[in-house]
């Protein structure tokens, strides 16, 4: 009986390195780093796994995965990788910062697009609404102006025809009153159309100016009298970096 126990114990210690090595193969080792650190990493494949750089995914992930790396204030990075639990892999990503110029160009094309690019969804919705509303108002005002202008030109021709054909004083006076009323209504419609054109230009201009002058800084970073406080993340650590401008 004692001999069997000793034999089992010897076999256990002999096989222990093999068991640990096999476990290491199963666990896998996919490392994702980014510059700057602190970016969110999302792996999408047979499973969905999330981490924050720098991070090591120890899950036994196998097959093709889509990798999204994103951080507020930086362009999103996406790629695809083939993961094999038996082969450690490392992905290093240099994130490009978003710029106010790119935001302004987008807002110049479509109001609110630059704000959406800057991850300001509420502002984006407001500028989209202003743009749609102002354009709709212009289209309505333009149709109204066209109708009033056509009525004005028709009454002008009728007035000229009455004078040319020697109409009575009463006919000429009535025709002239119609002409003047239609002329004033056409003038008012033209004024309203110009106001709506100004609203359209204003919506575009405000969106561009907002993208240029109110482009957001990185979240968590603020400056007071030349002293900049910025959060930093490392491998398993979180801290703050203080910078003083002289």
Which phi and psi angles does 131 have, rounded to 5°? -65, -45
Give the three-class secondary structure for 79: strand
Q: Which helix (H) or strand (E) holds 51?
A: strand 48-52
pLDDT confidence of residue 241: 56
Contact, 73 vs 220, CB < 8 A? no
Contact, 97 vs 189, CB < 8 A? no
Alpha-carbon torsion (172, 174, 177, 178), positive or negative: negative
CA distance 119 to 212: 14
Angle at 122 between CA 118 and CA 128, to 5 degrees: 90
DSSP labels for 126-140? HHHHHHHHHHHHHHH
> CA dist 240 to 30, 51, 201, Å?
27, 20, 44
Domain 28-98, second-level architecture: Sandwich (2.60)
CA distance 31 to 59: 11
Contacts of 69 (CB under 8 A, 6+ apart): 32, 34, 39, 40, 41, 53, 76, 77, 78, 93, 95
Strands 48-52 and 77-83: unpaired
Print pLDDT tens along the chain (246 aa).
544 445 454 454 444 444 444 444 445 588 999 999 999 999 998 888 899 999 998 888 888 999 999 999 999 999 999 988 888 889 999 999 999 999 999 999 999 999 999 989 999 999 999 999 999 999 999 999 999 999 999 998 988 888 888 778 888 888 889 989 999 999 999 999 999 999 999 999 999 999 999 998 755 454 444 454 455 544 444 455 555 544
pTM over 0.75: no
pLDDT confidence of residue 7: 46
Q: Show the tokens assigned to 189.
A: 């419609």
Contacts of 39 (CB under 8 A, 6+ apart): 52, 53, 69, 70, 71, 74, 93, 95
Q: Does residue 54 have a cis bond before it (omega within 30 degrees)?
A: yes
pLDDT confidence of residue 208: 93
CA distance 97 to 56: 24
């Amino acid at each position: 009986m004692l001999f069997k126990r000793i034999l089992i114990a010897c076999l256990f210690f002999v096989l222990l390195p093999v068991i640990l090595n096999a476990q290491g193969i199963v666990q896998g080792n996919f490392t994702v780093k980014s510059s700057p650190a602190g970016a969110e990493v999302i792996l999408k494949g047979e499973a969905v796994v999330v981490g924050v750089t720098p991070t090591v995914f120890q899950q036994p992930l196998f097959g093709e995965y889509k990798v999204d790396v994103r951080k507020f204030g930086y362009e999103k990075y996406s790629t695809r990788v083939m993961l094999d639990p038996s082969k450690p892999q490392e992905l290093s990503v240099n994130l490009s910062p978003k710029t106010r110029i790119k935001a302004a160009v987008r807002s110049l094309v479509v109001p609110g697009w630059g704000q959406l690019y800057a991850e300001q969804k509420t502002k984006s919705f407001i500028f989209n609404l202003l743009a749609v509303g102002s354009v709709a108002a212009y289209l309505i005002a333009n149709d109204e102006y066209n109708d009033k202008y056509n009525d004005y030109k028709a009454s002008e021709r009728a007035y000229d025809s009455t004078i040319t054909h020697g109409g009575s004083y009463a006919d000429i006076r009535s025709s002239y009153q119609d002409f003047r009323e239609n002329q004033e209504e056409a003038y008012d419609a033209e004024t309203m159309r110009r106001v709506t054109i100004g609203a359209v230009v204003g919506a575009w201009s405000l969106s561009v100016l907002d993208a240029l002058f109110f482009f957001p800084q990185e979240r968590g970073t603020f400056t007071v009298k030349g002293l900049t406080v910025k959060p930093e993340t490392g491998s398993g650590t979180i801290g703050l970096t203080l910078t003083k401008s002289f």
